[in-house]
Structure 1
Amino acid sequence: MDGLEDKLKALADPVRLLIVELLADPPDEHVVRDPRCGTAFGLCFCHLQERTGLSGPTVSHHLKILREAGFVEGVRVGRWTYYRLRPGALEGVAQALLKLAQKGRKALEKVG
């Protein structure tokens, strides 16, 4: 459960959850890819700002919290930074919550 509380706090904010949703299923026309291998760099900061309707500093603040929680990484390409979800970050939280649910179910079975 290492860091689970911080991860859940990061996801609890509606704006941060929206950013995670945007990064999880970005529209193809906004995804920038490496021309050499086709690997996705992610979504440009400006797209996240446009979709959230928030100021640059506010979006930066939310991205910082998501980065510190381990959900998001920034990829620098020239002067621009593109954001994407870190592989496995959400799965780790989902697995931790699933383990809690299973413990709860076992505890209920012992009682009932």
Structure 2
Amino acid sequence: MEQALVQGRLEALAHPARLTIVRLLAELPDEHTAFDPRCGSAYGVCFCHLKEKTGLSGPTVSHHLRILREAGLVEGVRVGRWTHFRLKPGALEALAYELLNLARQAQRAAAKAI
């Protein structure tokens, strides 16, 4: 993963409200999850649920969702008039993989220094 993408995702997750939104989306499915009736896959959570659970204003939730979308962590799925939000498949795993590689590299460097 390129360095700019890793940095953008880390910056997006650094804000407590965005981390809370990611945590809420990671808990899917729950009673607020909308599903595609044809195949049963989850569309995601509606904006109003995120607003309610975070206690933030609508414009603030929109701002944080935009940053998470731009970082490639969240996607919106239109269902009629509503947009439901969910984590992008693999986005957090890719970031975790990069961080794990950095940790292993640091361990190898520390072992060589001893």
Q: Tell me, yes or no, whether TM beats 0.5.
A: yes
Quote the residue 1:11 is aligned against.
13
Name the counterpart of 2:42. 40
Q: Which moved more, 1:27-36 or 1:51-60?
A: 27-36
| Identity level (%) | 64
SS at structure 2 position matched to 1:28: coil
Partner of 1:70: 72
Partner amino acid, structure 1, of 2:46? C
In the TM superposition, what is the alpha-carbon distance from 1:36 to its structure 2 partner?
Answer: 1.1
Q: CA deviation at 1:27?
A: 5.4
* Divergent runs of 4+, >6 A: none
Give the Cα separation in 1 of the matches to 2:106 and 2:31.
44
- The amino acid across from 2:76 in the alignment is G
AA partner of residue 28 (structure 1): D
Q: What are structure 2's unaligned runs of at least 5 residues?
A: none
Deviation sequence 1:45-81 (CA, Å, 0-9, x none): 0000000111111000000000000000000011000
1:53 alignment partner in structure 2? 55
- Note if contact 2:9-2:71 (Cα within 8 Å) is conserved in structure 1: yes
- DSSP 3-state at the match of 2:77: strand
Q: 1:84 aligns with which of 78, 83, 86?
A: 86
Aligned to 1:102: 104
3-state SS in 2 of match to 1:100:
helix
User: What count of residue pairs does the alignment treat as equivalent?
Assistant: 112
Gaps of at least 5 residues in structure 1 are: none
Over residues 7-36 of structure 1, what are the superposed CA-to-partner deviations in whole Å (9 max), with x where a residue is unaligned?
A: 100001000000000000035210000111
Instruction: Give the RMSD, CA atoms, in angstroms.
Output: 0.9
